[in-house]
Amino acid sequence: MTRLKNAMTAGAQGLYLTIFSLVGSIVLFVFSVLSIAFMLLGIGLFTTPVVLTAVRKYADAQRARAAAWSGVDIPVPYRPLPAGLRGGVAGQVERCTLMLKDPATWRDLQWLLVNMTAGTVVAILAPVLPLYTVYGLVLALGVWKPIHEAGGGEWYAFIHVTSQSTANQAAALGVAFFALGVLVNTSLVRAHFLLARAFLAPTPAMRERELARRVDRLTETRHDAVDNSAAELRRIERDLHDGAQARLVAMGMDLGTIEALIETDPAKAKALLAKARQDSGEALTELRDLVRGIHPPVLAERGLGDAVKALALRLPVATEVDVELPGRAEAPVESAAYFAVSEALTNAIKHSGADRVWVDLHHGDGMLRIAVTDNGKGGAVLGAGSGLSGVERRLGTFDGVLAVSSPAGGPTMVTMEIPCALS
């Protein structure tokens, strides 16, 4: 019974894929070819990125269906577009050039051709087998007779239906087609997606290039991490030297003076003792702030979600924090994520003019995803000199990525993703 249900479901999926493959692929392929051809007239420079983006979304929809319907995983091979891509005509031309240089773009166009031909043929077999069965049974119920008397030469597959006997043979063949559909329908749908994977998945050469790109990026971010660590150590040394250490030295000198004055001038010794107590309290506060800047105790004890909530409580604007983390990431990942959120919040408070901020943290598909959104004036950019560039470098150490959406007038959304597992 389960096999029959799966076969009928596959038949419906095949019918959907037939229509989807034929109409969507033809339309997008024609638009793509025309748009690329019109680049000679200059129009294509503006239409091509739009059309190719639509093609990628169409291909991504196919990837999602392949995974959901047949368990066929089709990796995404597209090269990421640079963050902070310029706007205007220059930015549009650059976007068009980058997309056309991506080998995955041309493989998408090849897939459109295959999808509208071989892909459609494979997909249409899944609904045809059970539906053709119905037609054979209808012929056997007597429909063959008026067709034959009207001068029609009705054929059912290879059977020429001219009598009740041949109509019954058609019905029997239809039952065989139905049984075949029960056996192969799910395989036909899977074959359709496997055909798509042959064109939509990255080739070994593309994987090698992507791996080399990631190695280069990780090498660069590793150097950044080393430089950042050295700068952080210098900051800690400076803060200790100028802050807590200076107060402790002053307190030691005051205690020496108190020791000399305690018998000769008790009043002055008492005043100096009060000052020493105040200095010790301030030194302790500075040490706590310093330790919090290195690794907040709440982060170590309670995890990333509670640490971000504690951070939000100290902000001067209303901040909502939504956390869906079923476990904890490794300590270095939590630390990087915490300080990335802290920097994003600091930027929102300083520059956006926002009076409300939302922070969302959740984990899915092996990825820690964080979104920091504010209702400020917008206009945030990612690039050299931006505070967010430091966040990007911090995340890059863990092969993470950062994206910024900040149209003029707001809102601004900073999205961060870090690949990691939770324990």
Given a contact cutoff of 8 angstroms between Cβ atoms, the answer to whether 419 and 400 are in contact is: yes
Among the candidates 294, 320, 336, a domain finishes at 294
225 occurs within a structural domain: yes
Question: Token match 């025309």: residue?
Answer: 34
Could you give the CA distance from residue 363 to residue 324 in angstroms, rounded to a whole number?
7
375 occurs within a structural domain: yes
Quick one: 138 and 266 in the same domain?
no
Give the global pTM: 0.56
Could you give the CA distance from residue 345 to residue 317 in angstroms, rounded to a whole number?
10
What is the predicted pLDDT for the residue at 110? 93
What is the predicted pLDDT for the residue at 270? 73
H/E run at residue 2? helix 2-19
What is the predicted pLDDT for the residue at 245? 65
Residue 101 CB-half CA count within 13 A: 9
pLDDT for 244-298, tens place per residue? 666 666 667 767 777 667 777 777 777 777 777 777 766 666 666 555 555 567 7
138 occurs within a structural domain: yes
- Alpha helices of 84-203 — where are they, by DSSP H? 88-101, 103-114, 120-138, 144-149, 164-200
206 occurs within a structural domain: no
Could you give the CA distance from residue 375 to residue 318 in angstroms, rounded to a whole number?
11
What is the predicted pLDDT for the residue at 6? 82
pLDDT for 109-163, tens place per residue? 999 999 999 999 999 888 888 877 777 777 777 777 777 777 767 777 778 777 7
Amino acid at 247: R
What is the predicted pLDDT for the residue at 34? 93
What is the predicted pLDDT for the residue at 192? 93
* DSSP-based three-state secondary structure for 358: strand
Total residue count of the chain as it appears in this document:
423
- Give the distance from CA 154 to its chain's centroid: 54
> Can you list the residues of the chain whose pLDDT is less than 70?
82-90, 152, 206-207, 210, 212-251, 254, 259-260, 281-296, 382-387
What is the extent of the structural domain holding 373? 302-419
Could you give the CA distance from residue 180 to residue 295 in angstroms, rounded to a whole number?
64
CATH code for the domain of 376: 3.30.565.10
Could you give the CA distance from residue 375 to residue 371 in angstroms, rounded to a whole number?
13
Could you give the CA distance from residue 220 to residue 175 in angstroms, rounded to a whole number?
64
Quick one: 49 and 193 in the same domain?
yes
Kindly write down the DSSP assignment for every residue of 272-316, as one continuous string.
HHHHHHHHHHHHHHHHHHHHHHHS-HHHHHH-HHHHHHHHHHTSS
